[in-house]
Structure 1
Amino acid sequence: MDLLRSLPLGLYLEEPQTWLHKIDPRVKFAWLMSFLTSYVLANNLWRILLVVALIIATLIARIPRRVWQQQMGWLLMLAFFVLAIAAISPDGLGIDNQPRLPANEQILTQQAFSKNPVPKPAVEKKEYSYVLFHEGPVKVTRYSLSLAVRLSTLIFTVIYSTNLYLLTTAPEEITSGIESLMQPFRRFKLPVTEITLTLTLSLRFIPLVLEEVQNLFRSVMTRAINWKKLGLKGAFKLWMTVAERLLENLLLRADQMANAMMVRGFTSPNEHRVQWHDLRLKGHDWLAIATLILFWGIRLAIGTQV
């Protein structure tokens, strides 16, 4: 089991360099925020379109199949299970449906002619059913299906859009872009550089956490522990020991990282600034911005929830 390969969360894909890698990190950050915020007060059609857009963007970017296949597969499977479970779950409205017309239509006809002797043209009746499917204990209503679509698409959009951003953007580019966007906050004496430095270290720390979890998991598996003999109490005590060891190793890694920075004379982010990237908008960046404007135009046109 290799967590760094089977669960590539927060990892940067250095090779091959796709067209998503070449876009300015500030533009990609705007796209990420658009995916995360356009979901608010949107209809189900727009939510489904967001999922389709993420899948198409992954395919046309020519990201290696080994990178996205397993993770996208797990996310789609999770979204499908959430869709199925939420669709058949009670919607919580507690609506008792009653027919719009009385059981005896002759009574309605007599009342209509007694009040208004002039006959009215017949109006075509449209069948409406709040319950879409009901077979035994399985019951799917319009509201439960709508709620299921919202939950499943939300899970996929939030997780996969964030992972696609981290996959195609280096941690240094992310921090440089966010620091550039946060420059106006310096007027309010907000420690922008310290915040971006903390973000850089946290992004660099994610692979270390996965590595420590992987090493501890392998150490437990190689000891051929008889779990049945341990029982529930013994297994819980063992995993608590593993969790304690994991915390100790992570604190040790953090201390080593801090000592490495102190040895190199690091005292303040403002005094040891490193210009990682030259942030300049190019032709493909302006094209991405124009596409983003079109994205929001379509969102306001067809994606608003009625």
Structure 2
Amino acid sequence: MDLLRSLPIGLYLEQPITWLHRLDPRVKLGWLVSFLLAPILASAMWKLSLVGLLVIVSILAGIPWRALKQQMGWLLLVGGAIFLVGIFSPDSINVTHQLRSPPDTGLEIVQPYQYVLFKIDAGGLHFKITKKSLDNAIYASSLIFTLVYSTTVYLLTTSPEEITTGLESLMSPLRRYKVPVTEIALTLTLALRFIPLVLEEIQNLVRSIYTRSIDWQKLGIKNSAKVWLTVSEKLLENLLNRAEQIAIAMQVRGFTTPNTHKVEWHQLKLGKADFFAMVFLFIFWAARFIVGRQFV
């Protein structure tokens, strides 16, 4: 069991260097926010197109499968389970008015309106798939996939220093209102760097339990809960000790405040690829409002 290799959470893929690595972090952040916001009030085809676009981008970027396969397995499993649950769920989960037939416009209807797409009512089984339940299933499963997969690709191709530098640059106008932008960027950097330490501590504690060959059946539920509570307390204690060591190391190196001891994390510079990415981002949102609208 190696959490540091099996979970690509907060980890940066240093090799190989892809064209996604070379993009400006502010541009990539704009694309990430777009992928998170674009599914809202969008059509089912648009939501599925986002999933396909994310997969195509990761393939064209040449991201190694070894960096995605561990998370892709459970992501597809969770997405598929949500889709199956949603498609057979009642269509009144979100209570909204839904027409069962087209409005009477006085025009001749060439194709009849079919609300129930599939129905089983035999042998004690009662399953019904409607247009509303299908739309709910596509929305939930594609949203989970888009949220997790886009964030994973962003973290794999953008170092923590680039992320914080980009956010600090975008939030720089807030300095006029005395918002501690530099302190926020520094805190975010330390938080991202702290994630591998948390995984390492969890991994060490879990291994220590496995090496003791504890018979959980003899312990029972109550004693097992006490063991895991003790492990959780030890984990919290170890993490606090790690945080204290980081603080002491920063003080020893003369770090007082971010304003007096400013660290240049990353040099931001827009290139030709960044301008092309911004143009495609504009086309992306134009297509979202023109093609991807949800028609009620």
TM-score scaled by length of structure 1: 0.88
1:107-256 alignment, distance < 5 Å = 126=112, 128-135=114-121, 136-256=125-245
Mark the runs of 5 or more structure 2 residues left unpaired by the alignment. 102-106
Deviates more, 1:139-148 or 1:249-258: 139-148
Query: 2: CA distance between counterparts of 1:179 and 1:14?
Result: 23
Query: 2: CA distance between counterparts of 1:129 and 1:257?
Result: 60
Q: What is the deviation of 1:37?
A: 1.2
Contact 1:132 1:142 in 2 (8 A): no
* Residue 305 of structure 1: aligned partner: 294
Secondary structure in 1 aligned to 2:57? Answer: helix
Q: What is the deviation of 1:224?
A: 0.6
1:91-140: CA deviations, max 9, x gaps? 33699x9x98xxxxxxxxxxxxxxxxxxxx99767252435232413332
Q: What is the deviation of 1:74?
A: 1.9
* Residue 83 of structure 1: aligned partner: 83
Q: What is the deviation of 1:297?
A: 1.2
* Residue 53 of structure 1: aligned partner: 53
* Residue 43 of structure 2: aligned partner: 43
Contact 2:116 2:128 in 1 (8 A): no
* Residue 33 of structure 2: aligned partner: 33
Secondary structure in 2 aligned to 1:137? Answer: strand
Whether 1:289 aligns to 2:269 is no
Query: 2: CA distance between counterparts of 1:16 and 1:125?
Result: 53
Query: 1: CA distance between counterparts of 2:109 and 2:285?
Result: 40
Query: 1: CA distance between counterparts of 2:257 and 2:49?
Result: 45
Query: 2: CA distance between counterparts of 1:163 and 1:234?
Result: 37
Query: 1: CA distance between counterparts of 2:236 and 2:10?
Result: 20
Contact 1:134 1:140 in 2 (8 A): no
Query: 1: CA distance between counterparts of 2:281 and 2:12?
Result: 24
Query: 1: CA distance between counterparts of 2:61 and 2:6?
Result: 21
* Residue 10 of structure 2: aligned partner: 10
Query: 1: CA distance between counterparts of 2:108 and 2:69?
Result: 57
Query: 2: CA distance between counterparts of 1:62 and 1:181?
Result: 28
* Residue 263 of structure 1: aligned partner: 252
Larger Rg belongs to: 1
- Percent identical among aligned pairs is 54
Count of residues in Structure 1 that have an aligned counterpart in Structure 2: 285
Query: 1: CA distance between counterparts of 2:271 and 2:167?
Result: 18
Secondary structure in 2 aligned to 1:238? Answer: helix
Contact 2:13 2:156 in 1 (8 A): yes
Residues 37/139 of structure 1: CA separation in 2 closer, same or farther (3 Å cut): same
Contact 1:87 1:148 in 2 (8 A): yes
Mark the runs of 5 or more structure 1 residues left unpaired by the alignment. 101-120
Matching residue's letter, 1:130: V
Whether 1:64 aligns to 2:64 is yes
Contact 2:26 2:170 in 1 (8 A): yes
Query: 2: CA distance between counterparts of 1:84 and 1:125?
Result: 28
Query: 2: CA distance between counterparts of 1:234 and 1:139?
Result: 46
Deviates more, 1:214-223 or 1:86-95: 86-95
1:157-212: CA deviations, max 9, x gaps? 11111111111001001111110111111111100000000000000001011111
TM-score scaled by length of structure 2: 0.91
Deviates more, 1:36-45 or 1:177-186: 36-45
Deviates more, 1:206-215 or 1:34-43: 34-43
Matching residue's letter, 1:200: T
Q: What is the deviation of 1:259?
A: 0.6
